[in-house]
Structure 1
Amino acid sequence: MIKYAWTSVKNNKSSSALFIIAMIAILTVSTISLHSIKDIQAQVDDDIKHFARGSYDILVRAKDSQTPVEKTLGVVEENYLGAGNGGITIEMWKKIQSMKEIEIAAPVASLGYFTGFSRTVDFPFPESSSLLSASFITSDGIHEYQWGDKKETFYLKQDGYFDGFDSLKDFKRRTETSVSGEKPRFMIPQSFHLVMGIDFEQEGKLTGIPFNELIRELTPEEQMFMSFAEKAAIIKVLYLKDPKISVKININIQNIPWETKDTLALKEKLGISTSHDGMLEFVDDEARKSIIEYLSNLEPISNTSFTFDLSNQVTPFYFEPFSVDYNGNISPSENYATSISESSQFYSTSPVEYQIKKDYLAVKQVGEQDHVPTYREIKKHGQPGYYNTTAVPFLFVPINAFSAKEYEKSLAASPLGIYHQAPTTTKDGTVVHETAVPGSFISSPAHGLIDINDTVHIKGEKPIDAIRIKVAGIHQYDEEAEKKILHVVEQLHKLGDFHIDIVAGASPKTMQLDVEGIGMVTQQWTSLGAAAKITDGWNLSNMLISGLFILVGFIYILNRIFFWKNTRKNETKILSDIGWSDRHINTFHFLELGILGVIATFISFIITVSFIFNFSMDHHCYYCLVYASFLDSLFLLFV
């Protein structure tokens, strides 16, 4: 029978060759594909085990703390913990921290936007009598905005009087005190900065950044600034030295036709002494208005403007005083005015109300702050200390700076929610950034950090917005790690009504935003807990791909066999006519197909071996080939 089957194979060379080629292709490609899928699956599993775990494992937040975008799309902004209403007590955090299964429990309390020291910047006197105007400017990277009101001062020549000038401010903008003979000096507007409460020890373990400055005693110099508000809670703040605060100043100088004799005549008319104790600033408002109106109507001799970028000099909460000359040279200043009493007045902001579109998020402007557009609702709290020092509940003392730049890669391992800031860019690559006022659509990183125990002075008894938890005893993200994490989650649910996320495998996601007044921009957001989704999704994809590939191969073989049987009808009839039974005919056809299958399997084996040696594939290819050949044999047997 085998001899007859072999003779039939030789006599039908064309159809036999086509069948063998098809079998070789299916066996070889199936073997290599199944092996590749298995190898990729192993790599994915290995990568998830070793790299899915970030800086922490579990994020605990107050109930109903998710934004609509997070609920709908499953993604969060960078620094998404920058706005929150609290909801977790310090006592609850300490209870969670004490659990034996927990290695790190780092709390975060978002407190709002505060200011620290404010200082003046001074300039040289003009060369002659002039109207000197100063406007501060801030920018979002696309547009520049006048920041606050313009400040105008007339400098009137008077030889022998201090540095040769007396001055008179426009009474409508007289918000700063003036001293006779002082250089042109302008208070830099208050820039407000996001402050977060942390536990220095737990945060240090989580990030690797040392925050020990938060527990040191204040120096005598630092205590001196707080002496006027003895009843206030004194809160030490570490400030971030990395951010570049967008602030420029435009100085416009209009030289006017006015000489020393004109100043002396004006003072005599007003009954003001022409000696050093006579100041034009002493005049009443009615006289001031009249003088300024007269001086403003004088035809300027010349008009010169200068714009200087002060962004590198101004840092959150504290910066050294400085002077600028009209060539842009910057030097330290010994004579300056300063203010710290505004730190008890602060702003809180709501999350951006995104409109979820098909392929992007829309952001609408909701208002203005100091002439600068805002995209979040802003609420003002407290009042400056100069109104009533006894009513000030707390004051900040900037004690030192910290930097997050050298920790950027580790901080990006998980969405820590308060540090990392990937750039927001337009289509042409222009970087869009925060302005110097609260309310930007860009989520700010923490510019200031205070001790978590001090947050109750600002936010009440439930100040904590989130707790980032690292589970003890986990070295890689595998099934055993998942069980430990899930066990801790169960214990946390028993402690309180929290919203809990497992953040393993948190991954960045590029989002498109259509921002009113700016246009389309790109931001990096984060999806929480992607590891399990990746594993489950990859397993399902592999099963579908493998199943469909094998199904297509078997359907082709089945189709080929039926076609082969159809072409052999005449031969089958002859065999039946000469007395062969149906059993013998089926055996004959099976042997013929078996010979073709053995030849195809042998050649496929040779090809697979060559792949193993030439492309460094491992021995598991043999098992895949044997498995595929076995399935083919079963298939041929039952056809």
Structure 2
Amino acid sequence: MVRFIWRYLRGRLGRSVALLAGVLVATTGFVVLTGATDTSRLEVTGSVGRETRAAYDILVRPKGARTPLEARQRLVRPNYLSGQFGGLTFDDWAKVRDVPGVGVAAPIAMIGYSTMSLHVPVDVTDAVDRSLDRQVIRVDTTYEAERGLSRADAAPGWVYVTKNSVIYPSFEPSPDRPGRYTDGREYPPFDCGGGLFPYPDREVLPDGTTVPVCPTDQSAGDLRAGQTRSDLERPWWYTVHLRPDGRFETGSRSGPGAPLGRPVDRLVVRAFATVPFLLAAVDPDSEERLVGLRGATVAGRALTGADRPTDTPTTANITAQRIFPAVASSRAYVDLKAATRLSRLASPQVSGLSSDAVRTALTASAGTPAGEWRGDVNDRYRESMDRRMAADALSGELLETVVQPGPVSYERLPDGTLRATTVPRAPDVFGAGRFAGLPQPWLAADQWFRPLTRVELVDPASGGAFRSWRPVGLFDPEKLTGFSDVSRVPLETYEPPAVTGADPASRAALGDQPLLPGGNPGGYLSPPPLLLTNLDVVPALFDRYPDRAAAPISAIRVKVAGVDGFSEVNAERVRAAAEEIARRTGLDVDITLGSSPEPQTVELAAGAFGRPELRVGEGWSSIGVASRIVRAVDRKSLTLFALVLVVCALFLGNAVSAAVRDRRTELAVLSCLGWPARRIAASVLGEVAVIGTVAGLAAVGLSLPLAAVLDIRVPAGRAAVAVPVALALALVAGLVPAVGAARTHPAAALRPVRGTSRRRRHARGVFGLSVVNLTRVPGRTVLGAGALAIGVAALTVLAAVTIAFHGTVVGTLLGDAVSVTVRGVDRLAAGATVLLGVVAVADVMYLNVRDRAAELATLRATGWTDAALVRLIAYEGGLLGLLGAVTGAGAGLAAAAWLVGDVPYRLVAVAVGTAAVGVLVAGVAAIVPTVLLRRLPAARLLAEE
């Protein structure tokens, strides 16, 4: 048997080499190209919430930004972006923005907390005894936060009310006349005892003389630069003129150009409350498209991409400033109140005394209770912000430093509750190197659950302009997309912070109300960014820190185009975009589509100001679709590479079938000599098995250097797969012809080889004869056309994805959402498939010409010219190519349309184009057999016939 097979292969050496070359090319291509199917893929696991729709679908963060808790349990705290500072560059943003399918890529750069002094209004009108010429109203303030559970007494405030006229410093911006007052006169400075401003209010006595009235809040004590004072340590003072008409008039120490207070019927003073606001930078246009920031503007104007810091010059009393524009929240979202007790001190002596002497005298005096008052920071917040937006505002809010909070750490208790761990306090983080006595939130002396870091935006040793921010407009966060609907829309950038009691004791302590932030940046609750500036100003803000300025972006929130709700197709569309973002950037990419709120019980340690230990329920976000980058096989590419083998099998099967047809007489003789059917089949399979084995061994040696040249990683173990692949390919291709050979009847030795067409057809003309010829051996025609059709179908799908869908298409297949992304190796595989299909067409035409050699010689002898014979073969090749190309293009069009559920005109145009290419290359392939026509030995063939 072995000798028989070897003699046959040697006897038909040319044909054997051709078959071996085909198997070698297909097997080598398959092994090498499958080395490129390992690709970065975003694997999505877990179930998804079908009722959710976040403002964004994908979250991009710096590499390694995921917390351990998030990595373990896929749980994310509300406003988790508030603790992420920088890490992404503007180039990262551009890469994300350029990914196909990305509709909006909105960057956000968390900068840190900036504190602002707000006022708690206190109405003391009813505490004033209008019969007294002079009196002092003492205001004892108890600050309350966290639903009244945290309480602290502040230093008293004082309201000096006199019927004598009062003159106030005019703050005229002239370096020559700093002591000018509202009566038009100039007065010498008065030392109130270490105060910052030597021109206090002056009381006009009945004899016309004036005496200074030193406020108790003017002394900064022995604080050094960088040290701060809590709101609890800040006494405050008002000098009030009780006019003859019963109204009240107060002055202003706000700065140059500040007008005197208008006479008012009610005397409302203000206690100070320092509140931290988280400052972030956004791209205004992207933020508008993502959450409707511009449409949420309720006062002033919206933030624009043209906003830049402005510089103000130094005047007599105000240092030069660099003011950064911002839009502020129209709501404070802080639970901070003040309960005040009023008492009246009659006829005290305060005029002409130093601040310390005034404080001593007033503290020693007994007062008469004069009422109580409760105020809320939120009551006058809007008024305060409107005043800061005014065109004549003297300055902005100080921005010399920012405070950046870190993440909260947790330990899990046996019952599954998370205990938030406390960290040491560092009160001086609220200071600024060029200032002494800056205020800090009183609740900052409470427990800290997160570390705080001070970032000096200005060199403390510099004498340059102060830095500040000023609001240019107000936006209502509750008008932003998804802000108020916390229960349905998780993972929002501006989510309102709130937790509720998780056990009866905690609910009772909170009065069945949610716990809100109280103004402690180190506290557990982290508010969203409520101050927004333009992203383009961040490099100027961090000019002391080149690394921060180069990578200021904390996260990029991505909204995928065409995704307006959850569906399997939309989920796959989001996954495909996320995968491409991860591939291009190498950053942490999370899919937020389908995220859902999940209550989490958190235990908070008791506070330093009376708040008991609480167990609270917090709506964390469960990222329902966990995502991770894995090395996975691109099944679409693997399918394309398998098609290379399929087409090769068709080509090989056609060739073996032709060989069996040629040897029908020989095989019939063997049957007559007693060879059993199985031995005849084994001989045919043995021949193709030898070809396959040799091709496989050659492919092993060829694939490794070829992979190195193409920069594709192919391990030796994978290269060794070439042998079984080639052998299996050869056996599969030869199986049907071998079975046919085994069924050869001995009488076949007496019958000529002819086509299988069952009825005679009368052809008219060259074209008609070409049609008849193709139907004479329909199996061969189908094999050739099918091989070409497979290649054209693959090429049509890839061309449709590339041209009509810009490289990626998402749709459904058999009920599953799938995405197809075209890569270079895919195009190479499709090209190889088409090429093998063309070779199969050429082989079919070659076999047709060879089998009909005598017939063609007869036509030439009867007067057919060579041109007519060439046209005949060309028509057959063209029709065969047309059949395969149209079938393949139609199948590819149907597959692409099925995938996307639509047939756009561009898809049809692509299908028509690939069909035309298929017909063209098939026509070119038909040229090869025409060369054989000129070599036909007409005389010998006619003699044999």
Whether the 8 Å contact between 1:506 and 1:526 is mirrored in structure 2 is: yes
Q: What is the Cα deviation at residue 205 of structure 1?
A: 1.7
1:522 to 593, 611, 617: 617
What amino acid maps onto 2:411 in structure 1? Q
Whether the 8 Å contact between 2:397 and 2:470 is mirrored in structure 1 is: no
Match of 1:381 in 2: 455
Q: What is the Cα deviation at residue 397 of structure 1?
A: 1.9
Q: What is the Cα deviation at residue 468 of structure 1?
A: 1.5
Instruction: Give the whole-Å Cα distance in 2 for the aligned partners of 1:209 and 1:389.
Output: 37
Match of 1:73 in 2: 73
Match of 1:297 in 2: 364
Structure possessing the higher relative contact order (Cα contacts under 8 Å, 6 or more residues apart): 1
Match of 2:475 in 1: 402
2:149 to 131, 143, 147: 143
> 1:466 aligned to 2:549?
no
Q: What is the Cα deviation at residue 186 of structure 1?
A: 4.4
Whether the 8 Å contact between 2:418 and 2:602 is mirrored in structure 1 is: yes
CA shift in 2, pair 1:347/1:145, >3 Å: farther
Instruction: Give the whole-Å Cα distance in 2 for the aligned partners of 1:484 and 1:380.
Output: 42
Q: Give runs of aligned pairs for residues 405-554 of structure 1, distance below 5 A.
A: 405-407=478-480, 409=482, 414-421=489-496, 423-426=498-501, 427=503, 428=507, 429-456=512-539, 457-458=541-542, 459-474=548-563, 477=566, 480-517=569-606, 518-530=613-625
Match of 1:319 in 2: 385
Match of 2:669 in 1: none
CA shift in 2, pair 1:191/1:231, >3 Å: closer
CA shift in 2, pair 1:146/1:95, >3 Å: same
Bigger mean CA deviation after superposition, 239-248 or 349-358: 239-248
Q: What is the Cα deviation at residue 520 of structure 1?
A: 0.8
What amino acid maps onto 1:130 in structure 2? V
Q: What is the Cα deviation at residue 526 of structure 1?
A: 0.5
**Could you give the per-residue CA deviations for residues 246-297 of structure 1, whole angstroms, max 9, x where no partner exists?**
33334444333536xxx4xx8xxxxxxxxxxxx52xx446xx43x5434433
CA shift in 2, pair 1:219/1:196, >3 Å: closer
Match of 1:153 in 2: 158
Q: What is the Cα deviation at residue 193 of structure 1?
A: 0.8
Instruction: Give the whole-Å Cα distance in 2 for the aligned partners of 1:169 and 1:307.
Output: 23
Match of 1:205 in 2: 289
Match of 1:361 in 2: 418
Matched position secondary structure for 2:577: helix
**Could you give the per-residue CA deviations for residues 24-52 of structure 1, whole angstroms, max 9, x where no partner exists?**
xxxxxxxxxxxxxxxxxxxxxxx979746
CA shift in 2, pair 1:95/1:388, >3 Å: same
CA shift in 2, pair 1:365/1:347, >3 Å: same
Whether the 8 Å contact between 2:497 and 2:528 is mirrored in structure 1 is: no
Matched position secondary structure for 1:488: helix
Q: What is the Cα deviation at residue 493 of structure 1?
A: 2.8
Instruction: Give the whole-Å Cα distance in 2 for the aligned partners of 1:159 and 1:430.
Output: 48
Whether the 8 Å contact between 1:239 and 1:402 is mirrored in structure 2 is: yes
Bigger mean CA deviation after superposition, 236-245 or 472-481: 472-481
How many residues in Structure 1 have an aligned counterpart in Structure 2?
Answer: 448
Q: What is the Cα deviation at residue 511 of structure 1?
A: 0.6
CA shift in 2, pair 1:168/1:60, >3 Å: same
Q: What is the Cα deviation at residue 364 of structure 1?
A: 3.8
Match of 2:97 in 1: 97
Whether the 8 Å contact between 1:48 and 1:531 is mirrored in structure 2 is: no
Whether the 8 Å contact between 2:328 and 2:531 is mirrored in structure 1 is: yes
Q: Give runs of aligned pairs for residues 11-160 of structure 1, distance below 5 A.
A: 51=51, 54-116=54-116, 126-127=128-129, 128=132, 129-130=135-136, 132-135=138-141, 137-146=143-152, 149-153=154-158, 155=160, 159=164
What amino acid maps onto 2:556 in structure 1? I
Matched position secondary structure for 1:99: coil
Q: What is the Cα deviation at residue 75 of structure 1?
A: 0.5
Match of 1:246 in 2: 335
Instruction: Give the whole-Å Cα distance in 2 for the aligned partners of 1:408 and 1:478.
Output: 20
Matched position secondary structure for 2:550: coil
Matched position secondary structure for 2:59: strand
Match of 2:898 in 1: none
**Could you give the per-residue CA deviations for residues 197-242 of structure 1, whole angstroms, max 9, x where no partner exists?**
222222222223426811187899x98799966562x422111223
CA shift in 2, pair 1:109/1:152, >3 Å: same
**Could you give the per-residue CA deviations for residues 114-152 of structure 1, whole angstroms, max 9, x where no partner exists?**
2457568575573242352343624012513338x4244
Q: What is the Cα deviation at residue 320 of structure 1?
A: 4.5
Instruction: Give the whole-Å Cα distance in 2 for the aligned partners of 1:480 and 1:216.
Output: 35
**Could you give the per-residue CA deviations for residues 379-402 of structure 1, whole angstroms, max 9, x where no partner exists?**
23338999977253x431201111
What amino acid maps onto 2:364 in structure 1? N
Whether the 8 Å contact between 1:503 and 1:530 is mirrored in structure 2 is: yes
Percent of aligned positions with the same letter in both sequences? 19
Matched position secondary structure for 1:307: strand
RMSD over aligned Cα, in angstroms?
4.3
Instruction: Give the whole-Å Cα distance in 2 for the aligned partners of 1:415 and 1:499.
Output: 19
Q: What is the Cα deviation at residue 88 of structure 1?
A: 0.2
Whether the 8 Å contact between 1:52 and 1:477 is mirrored in structure 2 is: yes
Instruction: Give the whole-Å Cα distance in 1 for the aligned partners of 2:321 and 2:166.
Output: 43
What amino acid maps onto 2:104 in structure 1? I
CA shift in 2, pair 1:50/1:225, >3 Å: farther
- The TM-score with structure 1 as length reference comes to 0.60
Match of 1:196 in 2: 280
Instruction: Give the whole-Å Cα distance in 2 for the aligned partners of 1:226 and 1:119.
Output: 28
Q: What is the Cα deviation at residue 97 of structure 1?
A: 0.8
